[in-house]
Amino acid sequence: MRKIKEECGVFGIFSADGADVVNSTYLALYALQHRGEESCGIAVNDDGVITGHKDLGLVGDVFVKETLEKMNGGQIAIGHVRYSTTGVKSRTNAQPLIINHVKGSMAIAHNGNLTNASVLREEFEMEGAIFHTTTDSEVIAYTIIKERLRHPSIEKAIEAAMNKLEGAYSLVIMSPTKMVAVRDPNGFRPLCIGKSGNDTFFASESCAFDSIGADFVRDVKPGEIVTVHKDGIDYITTHCGKRKSSLCVFEYIYFARTDSVIDGASVQVARQRAGAFLACAHPAKADVVIGVPDSGLDAALGYSRQSGIPYSIGFIKNRYIGRSFIQPTQVQRVAAVNIKLNPIASVVSGKSVVMIDDSIVRGTTASRIISILRQAGATEVHMRVSSPPFLNPCYFGTDIDSKENLIADKHLVDDLAKIIGADSLGFLTPADVQKIACNATCGFCDACFTGNYPVPIPKEELKPKYQRKLSES
């Protein structure tokens, strides 16, 4: 099932109460698994020595009991789950990255994409730098380390490095004595703070705190640097408020887990509001409303409540198969849809159905799902999408890197409905998508829908060049 790839998920813990930091990180990564199923890793600090383990695969496969037992305790740990939006799929590119340098050592976990990674990388290479990965995360690490040579602390080095980094980056960084959380000045990607006793946590989503019994405190502010050490917590806010906050609105539509709260807004409520807006903008005469698991379910419930059409569970999802969009060929993706989603014939047979999904990218997945609903006896299928049409590339951490495979960019809505086999098709409007997270304390980036990028984007000729260099390195 070809969906948009999530960016990544990060987690960090600084324990002043002697908690098992490795096990806490392991459990938190399970809660963040939806943000990346390609690879994962944990780095731990034991008396100033940073070690770690990472590999391709799911959290439960990479961190078996024997592996966890071999990882020493310590006071600080960070973790990462990954999908590759830049760089190839390989164990080398898995995170956290652990780097030894003249001032000590550092581990870094990154969520997002830099827009000036190619420029910075070329500058470092011309100075003799040798890169071991093909990710922009290593570019961030080099930028910080270079500044560390001129500044008295890791947090001051990060503050200076942020003057050179452009684009999206939510970071959790570990030094021999500190843990630092950083969010770019636009706040493209989520990052929040949790507490349990004297232990401090950072995570991409608040659902990670629920999994380990920690309390959500607040979101890291766009541009903020939060440093945790044995004497307490420090905050650097020199980069705060310099740019309009621009959280990726697709966090609410699809990326985040439904029980998370991001920048003050409930993901579940946002999705239900998206469904309600859809019902107002694109009503349908139908017998039942169903959602495509998982992110389409809350939107379907919102559509049902607003329209008065009964809601029901229309699909059973096989939980033992990974997200099928990571299958390498179209034939395999189609086969994975058949295994992953099974329609409930008693719900749809002989009925006109409103089917809610979160997005349409290539259109092949939507076409296949509509087909299996008709095979199950649905007389009509009216598709409603809880996001606007994808029309533009994303440079901030998702894998929409060109217009080439965006079917909505090539076809009008009525033509697209015919292509995917729907009786009718309706998208959320760009105006309504800005209103779904009604209690949010931030602004949103919707450039993939509108083309209104909040920061300068890479020149088109630079992006392919950068990718070619990566593939050849």
Q: How many helices (H) and strands (E) does the chain have?
A: 17, 23
Position 182, amino acid? V
For residue 457 the two structure tokens come to: 């984007």
* Contact call for residues 105 and 76 (beta carbons, < 8 A): no
DSSP class of residue 358 equals: S
Active centre residues (catalytic): 8
* Contact call for residues 29 and 9 (beta carbons, < 8 A): yes
- Compute the Cα dihedral for 65, 66, 67, 70 and give only its sign: positive
Looking up tokens 């959602």 gives 291
* Partners of residue 425 on adjacent β-strands: 383
What 3-state class would DSSP assign to 246? coil
- CA gap 205, 134 in Å, rounded: 26
* Contact call for residues 55 and 91 (beta carbons, < 8 A): yes
For residue 28 the two structure tokens come to: 């938190």
408 phi and psi, to 5 degrees? -70, -20
326-331 long-range CB contacts below 8 Å, 24 or more apart? 326/5, 326/37, 326/38, 326/83, 330/364
CA 297 to each of CA 269, 271, 274, 289, 311: distance values in angstroms, whole numbers, following the listed order: 12, 8, 11, 10, 10
User: Whats the size of the chain, residue-wise?
Assistant: 473
- CA gap 467, 157 in Å, rounded: 28
